[in-house]
Amino acid sequence: MAVAADFRTDLAFADERRLRLEANFYAKYCRDNRFVSLERSDGSLYIQKHCHIDCVVASRAGGSLTVEEKIVRWKGRAYTAIVVETHSNLERTSDEPIGDGWIKTSVADCLLYAFEQEDGSLRVWLFDLPKLRGWFMQNFERFAVTDKRNDFYTTRCRVVPLDQIPSDCVRAQDKAA
């Protein structure tokens, strides 16, 4: 089982890098620079926990888009895959069912994966989450299983190579300084 080095370190990293996303990614893709990253207020925590939404963006096409964010630290190698959570909290007692992962429970419109690069920049992939979910659920058995432990619980994930994700699931690719 893979073990996350430090949940708090990863969270602090994501919070800091989110500022780069705001300045160098969201600003390009939203209408009139209008987006809200949800912070840690009671209401925001509820939305993040139950809806798996981290940001709301005013769409250039009108209306809004909701985004689930995954921001990953540089760990000595270029990333070629995303990790898709299929089950959450494997340690639950026998009385409680193991929770579904965000691929099943997120109501976000988009999944944003930002991979830190060796130079400190971010390589950003923005996926249409409903399309990605539909494709993934038909193909998940093809992908390797990995269990990820953080400071609180273990999640079960599938490792999905970026080059195997259909292009119609990808809304944008970009680099955020």
> Would you list the domain boundaries of the chain?
2-176
Q: Which pLDDT belongs to residue 3?
A: 47
- pLDDT tens, 54-105? 889 888 888 899 999 999 888 888 999 999 999 988 777 666 677 889 999 9
Share of the chain above pLDDT 90, in %: 44
State the pTM of this model: 0.87
pLDDT greater than 80 at residue 155: yes
Q: Which pLDDT belongs to residue 126?
A: 96
Beta-sheet strand order (sheet of 99-100): 2-3, 144-149, 154-161, 81-88, 99-100
